[in-house]
Structure 1
Amino acid sequence: MKTALVTGGSSGIGRCTAAALRNAGFAVYEFSRRDAPQDGIKHISVDVTDEDAVQKAVEKIISEAGGIDVVVNCAGFGISGAVEFTPLDQAKAQFDVNFFGTVNVNKAVLPFMREARKGHIINISSVAAAAHIPFQAFYSASKAAISSYSCALDNEVKPYGIQVTTVEQGDIHTGFTQARQKVIVGDKEYCGRISRSVSQMEKDEQNGASPEVIGAYIAKIAEKKCKPICVAGAQYKFLSLLCKLLPCGLRGKIVGAIYAK
């Protein structure tokens, strides 16, 4: 039986991905800070920003299961607000979880995958990596970092039978919206644009795809040869392509018309 590790597995996309991988026949372990039990899924309490804790937890899985075939890095959260008014410690925390949490997990599993000469690492990014959402600058930057890092890592480890895939997703209807850390300081100075932008974001998210759909998509590609970047959802594939083809100035005008009015 193949073994999968999912981070952020207590809720949202991580929880649904863990369930989908279990249903596909994997032995599934999930990392999260709180335990939200699911049948057939083994929980390990881990904060992905704690490198030592991640290392010990990965070693525990290896000792029990003999290896890890698939890793899905779903752990993350969002912040919003104007760059000018976002506390630096909050911006750093965004990167510590979204980006360096992913780095910690991958760093721990790579020696075992390299020795086994197989493995698939799936890092969860966002179309915000290409769309650059105003008033979500640090979230967008953390996801752009994941996409860039993943493409570079894929080339580093390809000779050892390991593939790295980034899943760039769009709006998903999960508890992520309620959990977002919102900084509305400066809304007066920005003429109400911060609150209007965040309100539009949240409306789009509430009308987004279900996490079960994304979880099933991730489980499906887990056992396939994939491109380094996979965009989930036909409309987001088009949006991602458009963002990459349009001149930066024009792309900025279109995104700004939606999220910076």
Structure 2
Amino acid sequence: MDKVVLLTGGSKGIGFATARKFAEKGCRVYEISRHEAANPGVSHLTGDVTDKSSVEAAVQTVVGREGRIDILVCNAGTVLSGAIEFTELENIRMLMDLNFYGMVNAVCAVLPYMRKAGAGRIVCLSSMAAPFPIPFQAYYSASKAAVVAFASALGNEVKKFGVSVCYVMPGDTKTEPVRHKFHAGDDVYGGMIGRSVAVMERDEANGMPPEKVGDVISNIALKSRVRPAYSIGLMSKLELFLKRVVTESFAHKIVGMMYVK
């Protein structure tokens, strides 16, 4: 039986590539985003994950057409960079609304149907910024750490209903993300904000192709059984291994040397 997949934030980047890979593997794929981008084999649903009613309407549309949702991929997100003390609260809320509460809206809209079916798979997109919080990208790092905690707790809550949950942490990916850059206070920090953001953007420009990441995510989602956590990319796996064998202080120092210049 073809899997019915609903993916959030599928109009560009990792989401677009992941939706395409699901379609290539014979799934019936729906993506919800504010803007449509033609993607063969993928049905677009216009919606905003930060709007609970919008997400619920999209979920009802898919269930009405297909009778079920087998896989939910919570991918929608954005990036915010800037100094902690100079970032306005309204911008922090914007980030959390999309990266965290958007995921919550999607999960809560889909879960009743998965519980009723006694089966389902939920994949939440986190980041390597969760285990390695990035200076001048603290709020993004915190939002992705929240995804990890949420997915881990959710997995234990819903396993009795036949629903499995995992989170995925891609490394640097060449996606040209929508980055909300705030340079307020850069004079106070001696230009460190701008230099740090330049390092982040350079790493992303030299990162993995989104098609590779999308292929891995779709393969994970289609497994018969999943582990709670996955990293994507050789460097990511190496970084996580080293984090287990070195002290927290040493890992903290290395991240600082990479991004605080």
Check whether TM > 0.5.
Answer: yes
> How many Å apart are 1:244 and its aligned residue?
4.7
Cα distance between partner residues in 1 of 2:97 and 2:209: 26
Q: How does 1:36-55 map to 2 (within 5 A)?
A: 36-55=37-56
Cα distance between partner residues in 2 of 1:141 and 1:245: 23
> How many Å apart are 1:59 and its aligned residue?
0.9
- Aligned-CA RMSD value: 1.0
Q: How does 1:76-225 map to 2 (within 5 A)?
A: 76-176=77-177, 179-224=178-223, 225=225
Please list the CA deviations of residues 65-113 of structure 1 after superposition, one character each: whole Å capped at 9, or x if unmatched.
0100011111000000100111111011111000110010000000100
Instruction: State the match for 2:3 in structure 1.
Output: 2
| 2:115 aligned counterpart, secondary structure | helix
> How many Å apart are 1:222 and its aligned residue?
1.2
> How many Å apart are 1:2 and its aligned residue?
1.6
8 Å CA contact 1:154–1:165 kept in 2: the answer is: yes
The one-letter code of the counterpart of 1:53 is S
Cα distance between partner residues in 2 of 1:223 and 1:25: 11
Cα distance between partner residues in 2 of 1:64 and 1:79: 36
Cα distance between partner residues in 1 of 2:160 and 2:5: 21
Cα distance between partner residues in 2 of 1:203 and 1:185: 21
Instruction: State the match for 1:258 in structure 2.
Output: 258
8 Å CA contact 2:176–2:205 kept in 1: the answer is: no
8 Å CA contact 1:130–1:244 kept in 2: the answer is: no
Alignment gaps of 5+ in structure 2? none
> How many Å apart are 1:175 and its aligned residue?
2.1
> How many Å apart are 1:124 and its aligned residue?
0.4
> How many Å apart are 1:234 and its aligned residue?
1.9
Pair 155,210 (structure 1): closer, same or farther in 2 beyond 3 Å: same
Cα distance between partner residues in 2 of 1:139 and 1:28: 28
8 Å CA contact 1:131–1:240 kept in 2: the answer is: no
Cα distance between partner residues in 2 of 1:12 and 1:244: 30
> How many Å apart are 1:260 and its aligned residue?
1.2
The one-letter code of the counterpart of 2:74 is N
Alignment gaps of 5+ in structure 1? none
1:21 pairs with 2:38: no
TM-score by length of 1: 0.97
Please list the CA deviations of residues 206-245 of structure 1 after superposition, one character each: whole Å capped at 9, or x if unmatched.
0000000001101111111121110011210121233355
| 1:164 aligned counterpart, secondary structure | strand
| 1:128 aligned counterpart, secondary structure | coil
Share of identical aligned residues, percent? 45
Cα distance between partner residues in 1 of 2:187 and 2:175: 29
Please list the CA deviations of residues 149-206 of structure 1 after superposition, one character each: whole Å capped at 9, or x if unmatched.
1011001111111111100011000121xx2010111111001111110000100000
Instruction: State the match for 1:237 in structure 2.
Output: 237
